[in-house]
């Protein structure tokens, strides 16, 4: 993440468009995924399952595109360090909540006082690295 996100931001700058920076990124990712899938064996049965997937997991592609577009917009404005601190802290907090609720097939975990203290430290770290 710490390499490819700034590279996509640079692609957006070079192309003059955040949304268009997604096109070569996702095309190359698609081709690479196909090469790896075929290189690891016959995948005809697995490819057939694509058409039976529920819609909710497929929205991950939309979320990924939104993340990339947002990244190419935010990094030049807030800086790469601030962006990563905010992104990682958001993931820590979301992971704790998703675990508590058992969302997306994640094993259910309880939010404890220690985890809340950890999140408080994460938020404190965001404040220290971003605003001080």
What is the model's pLDDT at position 45? 85
> Rounded to whole angstroms, how far apart are CA atoms 78 and 93?
21
- Tell me how far apart the alpha carbons of residues 69 and 36 are, in angstroms, rounded to a whole number: 26
For the chain, 132 residues long, the average pLDDT of each consecutive 10-residue run is 82 88 90 92 84 90 88 87 89 93 91 94 90 78
Per-residue model confidence as pLDDT tens digits over 1-26: 678 788 888 888 899 988 888 899 89
Classify residue 26 as exposed, middle or buried by CB count within 10 Å of its CB (0-12, 13-18, 19+). middle
Residue 12 confidence (pLDDT): 87
Look at the block and give the residue holding tokens 């899938």: 37
């Amino acid at each position: 993440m710490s390499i490819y996100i700034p590279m996509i931001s640079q692609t957006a700058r070079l192309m003059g468009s955040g949304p268009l920076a997604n096109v070569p990124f996702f095309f190359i990712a698609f081709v690479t995924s196909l090469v790896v899938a075929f290189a690891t064996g016959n995948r005809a049965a697995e490819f057939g399952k694509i058409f039976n997937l529920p819609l909710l997991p497929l929205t991950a592609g939309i979320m990924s595109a939104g993340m990339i577009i947002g990244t190419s917009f935010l990094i030049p404005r807030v800086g790469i360090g601030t962006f990563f601190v905010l992104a990682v802290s958001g993931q820590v907090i979301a992971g704790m909540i998703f675990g508590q609720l058992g969302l997306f097939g994640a094993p259910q975990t309880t939010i404890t006082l220690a985890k809340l203290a950890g999140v408080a430290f994460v938020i404190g770290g965001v404040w220290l690295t971003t605003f001080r």
